[in-house]
Amino acid sequence: MHIEGFKVFSDLCDTGSFSRAAEASGITQSAVSQQILAVEKRFGVPLIDRSKRRFTLTPEGEVYLEACRDILNRYESLGTRFRVARGELGGKLRVASVISIALHNLPPLLKQFRKTHPGVEVTVDYRKAEEVYDAIKDGRADLGLVAYPRARPGLRAITCWQERLVLVMPPGHPLCGKRPVGLPQLEGQRYVGLTPDIPTRRYLDKILRRAGVKVHLVAELENIETVKAALEAEQAVSIIPETSVRQEIKQGILTSREIDADRMWRPMGAITRRPIPEKAALMEFLSLLAPRAKALISPL
């Protein structure tokens, strides 16, 4: 069994296509099928559910896919590990992050990491939360950064820090002079929210529902940056992380108030595959987050 065989199976699962997997490895579709049949014969288990029209893995196939990716990660990390043995660190680190973290929390970490490890090529992919989880699961990213991190099958979640959630509004809004603002004061207020599929929106909906407060939702937007831009036009309020609005407050574009309520914090954290791949650049970057880590959401 050669390393190429593990890559072929991984490519097949990523694409769901025998032809594309064959093309990626420069072999024929027949050769792809023969490699899979050889593994199934060796271990006496089916890897693909051939009773279904769409490409589907059996439970054994899921196990084999995880093993293939683990082996490939270890193999691909050898060059980096050799450099580490020589006192160097190189290779690539692929980060998938929600926009708010990528714009407001990630830059100082990247600056520090790149200064310490100039040989590592770090790329950042701006994604919605669900897309971050998918990128880690599919092996398209090494590290994910999300709000309200949650463990999932095959994925590990680590809460690294928390951000205060504050009420934000344009200058001159009637709530500007009230400090802090209680949740009942938001009743009927014009409100700009995130779309319902975003974890922060789901959390805030739960907080407002428990308080018996109904806001007047005037817009639902996909990220915090567009929420901020809409507040002045709509003469509305929103609840967003304090760190994401510091620049606008400094410039006088927006103003913020603390909220007199419990649990007005947004946990932020990292998502990795489980077990965490043995990739030196990934471990080094996680070490930057570790001093802030408060809890491991899932075991290894």
Both structure tokens of 135:
């990128």
Dist. CA 238–CA 230, nearest whole Å: 10
Strands 259-260 and 295-296: unpaired
Joined tokens for residue 77: 């990390």
pLDDT in tens, 218-272: 999 999 999 999 998 999 999 999 999 999 999 999 999 999 998 899 999 999 9
What domains lie within the chain, and their CATH numbers? 3-76 (1.10.10.10), 89-161+267-296 (3.40.190.10), 163-265 (3.40.190.290)
* Predicted pLDDT at 170: 95
Q: How confident is the model at residue 107 (pLDDT cuts 50, 70, 90)?
A: very high
Which tokens hold the place of 259? 């909220």
Mean pLDDT of 115-139: 91
pLDDT at 206 exceeding the cut of 50: yes
Task: Give φ, ψ of 14 to 5 degrees.
Answer: -70, -40
Read off the pLDDT band of 80 (50, 70, 90): low
213-223 as b/e: b if 16+ CB within 10 A = bebeeebbbeb
Parallel, antiparallel, or unpaired for β 155-169 and 120-126? Answer: unpaired
Check: pTM over 0.85? Answer yes or no. no
Average pLDDT over residues 43-48: 93
Mean pLDDT of 71-96: 76
